[in-house]
Amino acid sequence: MALPGLIVFDLDFTLWDCGGLWVDCTSYPFRKREDGRIVDSDGKNLRLYEDVPEILDEIDHLGIPMALASRTEQPAWAQDLLDLMEIRERFAYEEIYPSSKTKHFSRIAAASGVELHQMWFFDDENRNIVEVGEMGVTCVEVRNGLTRAIFDSLMP
């Protein structure tokens, strides 16, 4: 398999763990503690999955653009968390709002100029994998967050 022209990620249960909740079910606002941990207003830890920083570094090194597609009910919360995690600038395209993933991908394709069949998509929800896969995108279901093993299984 060839490298993709664009890699797209879901957020909740794919790139990050919000204490076992979707970001829009946490207690806003979020803050970064002195020890570097990010917590919601109830003190619940919000963190990237362990392998995610290294995977994002590798994708950057390969020069592959990245995008986000999330159907959260609280886009501003997700964007705030991306900023606190200091990863938002890595993503060339953001489609973060409550809507179908097909709409997200249509807009990403139009903005990026990358054809759908040249994209990879990582998400934890099977319904999104099926829906976006029918558009021609290479989709990978991640049940417990993106891991090195999952990512490496696609690498040529």
Per the document, the length of the chain is 156
Q: Which two tokens stand for residue 33?
A: 């503690």
- How far apart, in Å, are the Cα atoms of 11 and each of 2, 7, 93? 24, 13, 13
Catalytic residue among 10, 40, 123, 124: 10
- Whether residue 10 lies in the annotated active site: yes
Q: Which residue has the tokens 């994708």?
A: 59
Catalytic residue among 12, 17, 40, 80: 12
Q: How far apart are CA 39 and CA 57, in angstroms?
A: 24
User: What amino acid positions are annotated as catalytic residues?
Assistant: 10, 12
